[in-house]
Amino acid sequence: MEDTNRREELKDFFLGIKNCLECELSGTRTKLVFGSGNAFAEVMFVGEAPGKNEDLQGLPFVGRAGKILDDLLGSIEMDRKQVFIANVLKCRPPGNRDPKLEEINTCKSYLFKQIDIINPKLICTLGRYSTQLLLETTEGISGLRGKTFNIGGRTILPINHPAAALYAPSRMEILEKDFQRIKEIMDSGSRSGNNSKVAPKIEPSDFEEAKGKIEEEQLGLF
């Protein structure tokens, strides 16, 4: 796909699914949380599912776990504008319960399509659900975190979910260490892939054009 079309394709995809009625979560959600970030990102993060704040705002990782994610990105001199952040489920499970298998199976094609469009070199899976989905395994996160896997020409790096550090502060050190792995992988010359652009600046006119057409804030595309 032409790089210049990537943002447009993501926007169109968002518009096509934002009123999704494919599962029962559509009946309880406030907003579908498509994901946000850079359409040209080389690094993509995949969490579990939107929580309360994400559901209200339509943006991923805007609550306490999001603050941790921001801090971790900052620790490797990165920010949200350079990466793309999505979830396995696009809609909040009521009461933040665990995703159900049938919900994951219904929703997963949306994530796969996002990966297809963005074409990141590295996908960092946050926690059990995204790790098991993308690695097609039932193995637990503790045995997988910090290791890299090559799936379809991309690197997958499972790490703990940032929320883990909310409940066990000692996990923060592990997360920081794993974020250093992200930096190492991205700095290493051994990466292979076909992204030719990294976080290009988006002109203000891009936003003007989009205004009124879509909820740009919810899409949060850089």
Residue of 10, 42, 47, 124 interacting with ligand URA (CB under 6 A): 47
DSSP state of 207: H
Spatial distance between the Cα atoms of 87 and 76, rounded to a whole number of angstroms: 22
Spatial distance between the Cα atoms of 54 and 98, rounded to a whole number of angstroms: 16
**CB 148 within 8 Å of CB 123:** no
Q: Rule CB under 6 A: which of 144-163 touch ligand URA?
A: 163
**CB 175 within 8 Å of CB 164:** yes
Is residue 55 a contact point for ligand URA (CB under 6 A)? no
Residue of 38, 82, 87, 114 interacting with ligand URA (CB under 6 A): 87
Residue of 42, 54, 55, 103 interacting with ligand URA (CB under 6 A): 54
> Which residue number has the CB closest to ligand URA?
47
* CA neighbor of 61 nearest in space, from 97, 83, 70: 70
Spatial distance between the Cα atoms of 188 and 209, rounded to a whole number of angstroms: 37
Shortest distance (Å) from residue 47 CB to ligand URA? 3
Long-range contacts of 203-209 (CB under 8 A, 24+ apart): 206/7
Site stretch for ligand URA (CB under 6 A), options 10-18, 47-55, 167-175, 178-186: 47-55
Shortest distance (Å) from residue 159 CB to ligand URA? 12
Shortest distance (Å) from residue 23 CB to ligand URA? 17
Site stretch for ligand URA (CB under 6 A), options 37-45, 59-67, 138-146, 192-200: 59-67
Shortest distance (Å) from residue 31 CB to ligand URA? 12
**CB 161 within 8 Å of CB 127:** yes
Is residue 51 a contact point for ligand URA (CB under 6 A)? yes
Spatial distance between the Cα atoms of 73 and 130, rounded to a whole number of angstroms: 19
Spatial distance between the Cα atoms of 60 and 92, rounded to a whole number of angstroms: 11
Shortest distance (Å) from residue 96 CB to ligand URA? 8
Residue of 42, 48, 103, 178 interacting with ligand URA (CB under 6 A): 48
* CA neighbor of 82 nearest in space, from 185, 199, 161: 199
Is residue 61 a contact point for ligand URA (CB under 6 A)? yes
Is residue 110 a contact point for ligand URA (CB under 6 A)? no
Shortest distance (Å) from residue 215 CB to ligand URA? 17
Q: ∠ CA(192), CA(121), CA(107), 5° rounding?
A: 140
Q: What is the binding site for ligand URA (CB under 6 A)?
A: 47-51, 54, 60-61, 63, 65, 87, 163
